[in-house]
Amino acid sequence: MAVYLDHAATTPMLPEVLAAYTSALGLVGNPSSIHSQGQNSRRLLEEAREQVAASVGADAAEVTFTSGGTESINLAIKGLYWARNAVPSSLVERSRDPLSGTVDTRTRPRILVARAEHHATIDSVEWLEAHEGAVLDWVPVNSLGEIDLDYLAAALADDVALVTLLWANNEVGSLQPVAEVVALAAAHGVPVHCDAVSAYGHVPIDFHATGLAAMSISAHKIGGPVGIGALVISRSATITPLAHGGNQQRSRSGTMDAAGAVAFGTAASLIRPGTTTLRDRLIAGVRAAVPEAVLRGSANRLPNNAHFTFPGCEGDSLLFLLDVAGFSVSTGSACQAGVPEASHVLLAMGLSEPEARGALRITLGPTTTAAEVDAFVAALPAAVAGARAAGYADRVTTLGR
């Protein structure tokens, strides 16, 4: 039986969540209907909203259910950008170009974002750049994957639409100084969106204490089902919707998934603070088994994350060899799996492309045991040797052509 060590990609659904989900799937009634069956669905959905809100220190009214982390990130970034650049109707004619007839709404065109963000963020801001005239100001990260606060402070100004950052890097696990970023941005009245998908369930989150405008989370990272997430929107924030029709939720239209919400709420109610004991055992074991392995990311990292690069290895080769040996791990984000290129996160941290290609991310979950960690460590040296031999053979073949 395979040992699952890729919980950052998705965590198996918890038994209590599965039971609540399957029971809720039998419900009849649209939560927006006013008859008794519809209102029963609505009651369960709103109870779930309260559970999710409580898990992140927010009010229930601030939780908007979505289809997952990617939608939440898109809604936050595009919605904040559009809202910050909206021209009041009274000023439309004053803003109209006399030659083209178009109205320039880009009063705050700049977005501050780091290259080491998740691709849901990078692709969203690059879409705004290509189609909406956004100006991207790429905030550097250091060799540990931590955002450069000095650069951010110098870059903040009145023409900035928003700042967006990860709470914890989804590949190397480094935690970001969210409170410090929000404080810097607040001095200029700039809203901050935080992608907390990877951090949610592993570190304490208090949405109100952070002062964030919006925060993205997802159910399947905490033992809930795939297909439901949430965007937590501060009462003081304005976000323009991506889709229109129905206004069932704040900034989001569409029939609400009551069963998914029930499962999400159940998973949220089962969150327990993460511990570092097993992660540290894993890190120490890898370092002892393969001394040349390099731990990437900050010491201030997620309690379930260990990310290494292995000199002379291709990460994909390591992954396949470990898979054959019975261990499920990853080379980085599952959203980029199968893409034959070095991690953009590691490149942003200053690694060369050959260094970045030898990456392996091992992430633990609530069901991971010490015996599974030890078994992985025992299997690792053979996989590393095999990956190096494969790489050497490929280089010899290439040189011989």
Residues in the chain: 401
> 367: helix, coil or strand?
coil
Q: How far apart are alpha carbons 201 and 400 in whole angstroms?
A: 51
Cβ-contact 188, 156 below 8 angstroms: yes
| Cα within 13 Å of Cα(301), Cβ side | 25
Which residues pair with residue 113 across a beta bridge? 138, 164
In the prediction, which pLDDT does 199 show? 98
pLDDT digits (tens, 9 = 90+) for 198-211: 999 999 999 999 99
Cβ-contact 364, 269 below 8 angstroms: no
For 91-100, 174-183, 321-330, which range has the lowest pLDDT when averaged over its residues?
91-100
Q: Is the pLDDT at 114 greater than 80, yes or no?
A: yes
Which residues pair with residue 307 across a beta bridge? 361
Q: What are phi and psi of 14, to 5 degrees?
A: -70, 150
Q: Is the pLDDT at 318 greater than 60, yes or no?
A: yes
Distance of CA 255 to the CA centre of its chain: 25
**Lookup result for tokens 């592993």:** 202
Q: Is the pLDDT at 336 greater than 60, yes or no?
A: no
> 102: helix, coil or strand?
coil
Q: Is the pLDDT at 74 greater than 60, yes or no?
A: yes
In the prediction, which pLDDT does 89 show? 46
Q: How far apart are alpha carbons 11 and 5 in whole angstroms?
A: 9
Q: Is the pLDDT at 112 greater than 80, yes or no?
A: yes
In the prediction, which pLDDT does 283 show? 98
Q: How far apart are alpha carbons 23 and 19 in whole angstroms?
A: 6
Burial of 1 (0-12, 13-18, 19+ CB in 10 A): exposed
Per DSSP, which regions of 140-187 are E strands?
A: 160-166
How many other C-beta atoms can be found within 10 angstroms of the C-beta atom of residue 195? 30
Q: How far apart are alpha carbons 165 and 10 in whole angstroms?
A: 21
Q: Going by DSSP bridges, is the β-strand pair 359-363/305-309 parallel, antiparallel, or unpaired? A: antiparallel
In the prediction, which pLDDT does 332 show? 77
Q: Is the pLDDT at 352 greater than 50, yes or no?
A: yes
pLDDT > 90: percent of the chain: 85
Known catalytic residues? Answer: 335
pLDDT digits (tens, 9 = 90+) for 269-294: 999 888 899 999 999 999 999 999 99
Query: Taking Cα atoms as reference points, which of 238, 254, 167, 246 lies closest to residue 206?
Result: 167
Q: Is the pLDDT at 247 greater than 50, yes or no?
A: yes
Q: Is the alpha carbon torsion for 55, 61, 62, 63 positive or negative?
A: positive
For the chain, which domains are there? 3-9+273-400 (3.90.1150.10)
In the prediction, which pLDDT does 334 show? 52
Q: Is the pLDDT at 354 greater than 80, yes or no?
A: yes
**Rounded mean pLDDT of 52-59?**
98
Give the chain's mean pLDDT. 92
**Rounded mean pLDDT of 72-89?**
90
Q: Is the pLDDT at 395 greater than 80, yes or no?
A: no
**Lookup result for tokens 């199968």:** 338
**Lookup result for tokens 């992608």:** 195
**Rounded mean pLDDT of 8-30?**
95
Query: Taking Cα atoms as reference points, which of 43, 25, 23 lies closest to residue 33?
Result: 43
Q: Is the alpha carbon torsion for 198, 199, 202, 206 positive or negative?
A: negative
Q: How far apart are alpha carbons 254 and 234 in whole angstroms?
A: 21
In the prediction, which pLDDT does 96 show? 52
How many other C-beta atoms can be found within 10 angstroms of the C-beta atom of residue 228? 27
Q: With bands split at pLDDT 50, 70 and 90, how would you rate the model's confidence at 246?
A: confident
> 282: helix, coil or strand?
helix
